[in-house]
Structure 1
Amino acid sequence: MRNKWMPLIYVFILLLIGAAFIDLPYYVMKPGDAHALKPIVEVAGGKKDEGTLMLTTIKMGEANYITYALASLRDYEEILPVEEVRSPHETNDEYNIRQQYLMSNSQQNAITVAFDAAEKPYTFEYEGVYVLNVFPGMPAEGVLEAGDRIVAIDGKEFKSSRLFTDYIQTKQPGEKVTITFIRNKEKMEKSISLKKFEGNQQKTGMGIGLADQKKLVSKPKVKLKADSIGGPSAGLMFSLEIYNQLVKEDVAKGRKIAGTGTMEPDGTVGRIGGIAQKVVAADKAGAEIFLAPDDHISPELKKRVPGIVSNYKEAVRTAKDIDTKMKIVPVHTFDDALTYLLNGK
C-alpha cells in the first residue's frame, strides 16, 4: 500500500516546492516590526532618554502560490497587484534600490527638520545623478544599472539632475556621450549613444530614471544605521529621535512611542502605505502612543480610489478592530507631533 501512494506523495511534494518558487504578478504586504530608534540613530554627543521612540515597518514580498493562499486567509495581510507597487518597466531589484534611495532621502529630510527645530547648522554637498532604473530597449540598457551614481558627462560636472538632462537635450539622436559614474565605489567611464524616446519623439535621452544625490554635512554629525529598512515612511520618527538627542527635553517622557509618516523638508508629515499593518506591529511591541499622518484626501484621489480615508482614520479603525489600548494621535506636521509629545495636546 505504501509503495502505491509514494509516487503521488512525491508528485505532491514537487508541486508544493514548485509553488513556492513560482512568482505571481502580486505582492503580499503584512505587519512588520516596531524598531527602537536609539540603536539606529546616533547623534554625536547626543543624549539618550528613558523613553522609547520606535519606527514601524511592513513586510513586503513577491507573492507565490503559497504566500498568496495564506494571505487570503490571514488578517492584515494584503495582496497587491504588481502595478500598484512597482513602476512600469521597473524590476524587483530596481524597486528595492528605489526604496533604499527613498529611505536615504527621508533620512536627510528628517535631519534637516530636526536640526532646524533645534537651531543647529548643516550644509549639502552635491554628489551626482543617482540612477533609479534603466528603461528596456534604450541605450543605457546593459551599460548603466540602478544604483549607479553619474558624476560627469563628457567631462562636465553638474550641480543638479535638471542641468544634466538639459545638457542631454542639446544632443541629437545617434550622438555619443561619455558617462563617468561610480558603481560599488569604483569609478567607471563608458560611451552611450542617445536615442529618441518612444511615444515622445521630442525628447532625446539614454533611458534612465534619475534623481539628485546629495550628501548632508551636519554639526553635530548624525549616523543612521538603517540599511535593512527601505522606503520613506520612517521620516517622522527619525526626525523626532534626532531632535530628542539634540535637546535637553525628553520628548518621549519615559513612554513607548511608535509612529509613521514621510517627512518633507518643510516639516509636513505625508501619507504612507500599510498603515493598518504598522498599527498591528506597534501594538505587538507594546507602544502606548501611535503617531499617524493626518493627510488630506483630495477630491481627485477620492474619485480615483472610492472609499479611501486618511491614514489617521484607517489607523483608528484598525486600533478598534484589534482592541488595543494604544492611543492613535493625528499629526500633520513635525511640530504637531512634537507639541503633542511635550504638552500632551
Structure 2
Amino acid sequence: MKNKFYLNSLIIGIIIAVVLNFITLPYYVTRPGDAQDLSPLVEVEGGNEGAGNFMLTTVKMGKANVFTYAFAKFSEYQNIYPINQIRSEDESDEEYSYRQLHMMENSKETAIKVAYEKAGKEVELLSRGVYVFTVLKGMPAENKLAIGDRITHINGEETSTSEIFMEKVGEMEIGDTIEVTYDRNEREETTEIKLGEHPEKAGAPGIGISLLTDYEISTNPSITIDTAQIGGPSAGLMFSLEVYNQLVEEDITKGYKIAGTGAINVDGEVQRIGGISQKIVAADNSGVDLFFAPNENGAENSNYEEALKAAEDINTKMKIIPINTFDDAINYLDSLEPK
C-alpha cells in the first residue's frame, strides 16, 4: 500500500512538473550564449583567411516558465525582464522576430560599407526609406502607423534615412502636425500626425516610433554573409572587422581569438548594446583572448565599464579593450604583436 502511495505521488509530481514546464510566465529570461567564429559566415570573393578568429557573442533568450524563472532568480548572469521591456504590448512574437532579423540585416549592410570603404574597395549603399519597427502605445503614431510601414516622406520631403526623419521632427515643436507618407502592403498612403513629447527626451517633440533605414548594398568584390537566424544589431562591429580582414592582404587577427560586440553606424561609430556582461561570460567560456567593448566616448556606466566589472568578477584572463569607432579597433590591432 505504501509503495503504491509513493508511486502515485511520483506520477502526480511528474505530471505537475510537465504541466508547469509548458506554462509560460509574462517574462523573458536571458543568459550567456556563445562566441561564434565569423569566417564561415562571411565570404568575400577572393578574400584572404586569417590565422586567428573574429567572433560574435550571443545572448540566449526565451520565455520564462516556473523553472527557468526560479533558476534565473538565483543565477548572477541570468536576467529576468517583463515582456513589455522586450517587445511592445501589442507586438506578436513573429513581429518581434521580424524586427530583430531586420535590424541584423541593416547592421550587416552598414558593416560591409564601413569595411569596404576602409579597405578602399567599391561599395554603394542605397537607401529605400525607413521602416517602422515599434509603435508606442498612447503616443501620437498609435493607430496611424504600424510595424513594417516604410516611411518615404515627411511633409513632402524625402526621408532616405532614419537620421533624416528624426532631424526633421526635431526641428519642429510639440503640437505641430506633420504629414507622413509611407508604403504599406505595396500601397502608398499618407497620414497626418500631431507631435507629442518624446518618450525619452523631456521637452522634445516625437511621435512614439522607432525606425530603421532600409538599405540595399552593391560591392566589388562581391560578398555574402549568412546571418541565418541571428537577430539584432549588436554584431555590426565584429562583422565589419571580419569583412575588412578578408579584403586586405595582411592578417589583422595576428593569430588571436577576438570577440566583441557593438552596433555600428555608417560613420563607423560603435554604439551601445544590451547584455554585455552575459557576452563577457560567453566569450570567456569560448577561450577568447581579446574583447572589444563599446566605450561610448567614456560615458559613465558605459558598456566598457560594465564589461570590465564582469571580467573582474569572473576572473577572466581575457583583455577588454574600449572601442569608440571602427578605426579604434583597426589601430589597436595594427599595434598588436603577433601571437
Question: What TM-score results when the alignment is normalised by the length of structure 2?
Answer: 0.77
Write the deviation string for residues 108-157 of structure 1: whole angstroms up to 9, x where unpaired. 1111111121122222344466453578997689xx8x5687999xxxxx
CA gap of 1:263–1:134, structure 2 versus 1, over 3 A, is closer
Would you say 1:104 and 2:105 are equivalent positions?
A: yes
Aligned match of 2:46? 45
Q: What is the CA-CA distance between 1:212 and the residue it aligns to?
A: 3.7
Amino acid in the other structure paired with 1:15: I
Aligned match of 1:331? 323
**Secondary structure of 1:336's match?**
helix
Aligned match of 2:80? 79
Would you say 1:315 and 2:307 are equivalent positions?
A: yes
Amino acid in the other structure paired with 2:308: V
Would you say 1:252 and 2:253 are equivalent positions?
A: yes
**Secondary structure of 1:282's match?**
helix
Distance 1:180 1:273 in 2: 31
1:292-311 pair list within 5 angstroms: 292-296=293-297, 309-311=301-303
Deviates more, 1:287-296 or 1:33-42: 287-296
Q: What is the CA-CA distance between 1:337 and the residue it aligns to?
A: 0.8
Q: What is the CA-CA distance between 1:339 and the residue it aligns to?
A: 0.6
Would you say 1:28 and 2:20 are equivalent positions?
A: no
Distance 2:36 2:304 in 1: 21
Q: 2:334 aligns with which of 328, 334, 342?
A: 342
Write the deviation string for residues 156-185 of structure 1: whole angstroms up to 9, x where unpaired. xx774889x99x9659xxxxx9x9766xxx
Q: How many residues are aligned here?
A: 312
Question: What TM-score results when the alignment is normalised by the length of structure 1?
Answer: 0.76
Q: What is the CA-CA distance between 1:32 and the residue it aligns to?
A: 0.5
Distance 2:303 2:212 in 1: 27
CA gap of 1:17–1:147, structure 2 versus 1, over 3 A, is farther
Contact 1:275-1:315 at 8 Å conserved across structures: yes
Aligned match of 2:221? 220
Distance 2:290 2:298 in 1: 24
Moved over 6 A (4+): 134-141, 148-152, 188-192, 194-197
Write the deviation string for residues 48-69 of structure 1: whole angstroms up to 9, x where unpaired. 1211111111101111111111
Contact 2:273-2:303 at 8 Å conserved across structures: yes
Q: What is the CA-CA distance between 1:210 and the residue it aligns to?
A: 5.7
**Secondary structure of 1:55's match?**
strand
Distance 1:289 1:85 in 2: 29
Distance 1:33 1:54 in 2: 9
Distance 1:257 1:148 in 2: 38
CA gap of 1:209–1:265, structure 2 versus 1, over 3 A, is closer
Would you say 1:116 and 2:127 are equivalent positions?
A: no
CA gap of 1:180–1:109, structure 2 versus 1, over 3 A, is closer
Contact 1:312-1:330 at 8 Å conserved across structures: yes
Write the deviation string for residues 280-302 of structure 1: whole angstroms up to 9, x where unpaired. 1111111111111112576xxx7
**Secondary structure of 1:105's match?**
helix
Percent identical residues: 45
Q: What is the CA-CA distance between 1:86 and the residue it aligns to?
A: 2.0
Contact 1:134-1:140 at 8 Å conserved across structures: no
Q: What is the CA-CA distance between 1:16 and the residue it aligns to?
A: 1.4
Contact 2:152-2:159 at 8 Å conserved across structures: no
CA gap of 1:170–1:127, structure 2 versus 1, over 3 A, is closer
**Secondary structure of 1:50's match?**
coil
Distance 1:241 1:289 in 2: 15
Contact 2:106-2:213 at 8 Å conserved across structures: no
Amino acid in the other structure paired with 2:41: I
1:40-189 pair list within 5 angstroms: 40-127=41-128, 130=131, 132=133, 160=160
Q: What is the CA-CA distance between 1:328 and the residue it aligns to?
A: 1.1
Which consecutive unaligned segments of at least 5 residues does structure 2 have?
A: 170-176, 198-206
